Structure 1
């Protein structure tokens, strides 16, 4: 009976070396996609100069990627279950590369936003495919937990090292290099995937859900627009209130529709399992904090403390190092102490990191912010891996694509809202000196 549930019989017969090579290809591809969540942050000052972008336009350049990424994850995940996860993965890589080329050579804000959206479309196909393929490749609990630990470390590491990679590139090349660097990785990843990554799909043919897809994208986009525009137009602006209310109504309809359609994109039943719902919430909160903080911190280091892009990126290196160590280590801690204890401790670390950073002023310097950064890295790295593994354990393998997309949606929606909420709290005060780093005007003073 167990064999009948397998979506890709040949993947269960692969050698350990082949599995390791396939895992490496998937993780490197995910690293490039995750890195683009934050690599642009370090280049935002250059975009102000080169493209004459306003504060709101900067947020849309960042959020265009995250909104499309998060909004289309469920569509891409369900499509992978139906037509083949490797096929969707390869198509996503090519789309991501095309968008990267467009962003590298964009000459205006509108072109940059469109290209970033295309990158988000490609990334939406890549992320759920990587996790669902891993879930199919590694079928024993311990091996799957280790693989998911590496996958989670890669995802968190990409977010953390984005500013470092961006700073290094900007110190040597033109601003478009932060996008152009993706292209060789995309080409190599596609070639390696063709040779090393097995195909898998859901054995049960399911129809697509165009109504659910449209509702999820429209609801999320409207909600983010309201959050981003609120500082400029005011929280009580009729347009902001109208857009926010309409977005919530559309998202409510989305949930209503998904409960009744025969082939839902979003798997709602697992949310009744506390282990699943808490895991998804923990992942969303961890990335919300990490990406929102990175968005403000890169600007704080450059504008308020006067560091160069490269120097600012290097000062974020401790976060990347802690994430890289904490994520794989958390899988062992999970076995020893249990998921609840590990994730709860991780969330406490995130809260502590925010507390330290909220009290940091330009006069305190980087040394005062460093403990907060280390706590953020420890919290994010320790939360994502065990929470993702717990989520995966609640889902059947034949729905791995949709399940992976649900986890990916938590990652990307949390990240998009982090940038939107943290950036909106800075909003119009970005042009006036504000003494606090936490959630307000970090782009205020230059040295």
Structure 2
């Protein structure tokens, strides 16, 4: 209830304004529901989400990375679609080509990454994915708004796709490996929820910013560069959080090593 009310309020605020009773009511409901969720989960014998997980720095950091990383990725995709379609009036086929390329990259790299996940710790994959994502986002933001050539989008889209598959394939592993074994299911589910929330939050926030800018700026200034920079900063924030807080669970590593060396 809290997340739904929050998203609805963010999506609708561009049309209704912050002072609208509906927006104030939705955001108030979101705050009350999310605050009430804390004591409800603490009292529950079998909580949906064990709040003690948030006191594990690596898990909390992985959740932040899931939110900011997916926010930036989907936010950038939304910016590009609006830019090519609504602003430049390209055909649906031409406007969709960058996204075709973007989705081909994960398909091509999936076999390689599946092997890397068994050999490289998730933290390194996150650090290898977030900076390319940010670079692609800043690159897209720097392209002139009049650019319609698909070749101009090829470089940043490649960076964005490579970064995305590295991040999305290692996020759950980073979160799950940070918690005790008995909490792995809950950690995986919570990470998926935060990741999906970031994906819907990106377009919601970006559209709200765009609507606010549209009301106060001439059409010629609506380049979308500021929104692209915003998405790039979100990815950089995720990289910084990963660098500082995401760590390997040494106890889990020891257990896994013992399991591999134990006689069958």
TM-score of the superposed pair, with normalisation by structure 1:
0.44
Secondary structure at the counterpart of residue 47 of structure 2: coil
CA distance in 2: counterparts of 1:361 and 1:375, whole angstroms: 18
CA distance in 2: counterparts of 1:329 and 1:284, whole angstroms: 25
Q: 1:398–1:271: structure 2 CA closer, same or farther, 3 Å change rule? A: closer
Secondary structure at the counterpart of residue 49 of structure 2: coil
Instruction: Name which structure has the greater RCO, CA cutoff 8 Å, separation 6+.
Output: 2
* Counterpart in the other structure of 1:437: 224
* Counterpart in the other structure of 1:275: 58
CA distance in 2: counterparts of 1:388 and 1:226, whole angstroms: 29
CA distance in 2: counterparts of 1:323 and 1:278, whole angstroms: 24
* Counterpart in the other structure of 1:289: 72
Cα pair 1:426 1:439 within 8 Å, conserved: no
Pick from 146, 151, 165 the counterpart of residue 363 of structure 1: 146
Does residue 426 (structure 1) correspond to residue 226 (structure 2)? The answer is: no
| RMSD, aligned CA | 3.0
The alpha carbon displacement at 1:350 in A equals 2.1
Does residue 382 (structure 1) correspond to residue 166 (structure 2)? The answer is: yes
TM-score of the superposed pair, with normalisation by structure 2:
0.71
User: What are the Cα deviations for residues 91-150 of structure 1, in whole angstroms up to 9, with x where unaligned?
Assistant: xxxxxxxxxxxxxxxxxxxxxxxxxxxxxxxxxxxxxxxxxxxxxxxxxxxxxxxxxxxx
Pick from 165, 181, 190 the counterpart of residue 406 of structure 1: 190
The alpha carbon displacement at 1:301 in A equals 1.8
CA distance in 2: counterparts of 1:352 and 1:270, whole angstroms: 32
User: What are the Cα deviations for residues 346-373 of structure 1, in whole angstroms up to 9, with x where unaligned?
Assistant: 2222222221222233323344333322
User: What are the Cα deviations for residues 301-344 of structure 1, in whole angstroms up to 9, with x where unaligned?
Assistant: 22333322222222322211223344553454455553323212
Secondary structure at the counterpart of residue 352 of structure 1: helix
The alpha carbon displacement at 1:379 in A equals 1.6
Alignment of structure 1 residues 127-276 onto 2, 5 Å:
218-235=1-18, 239-276=22-59
Cα pair 1:283 1:410 within 8 Å, conserved: yes
* Counterpart in the other structure of 1:348: 131
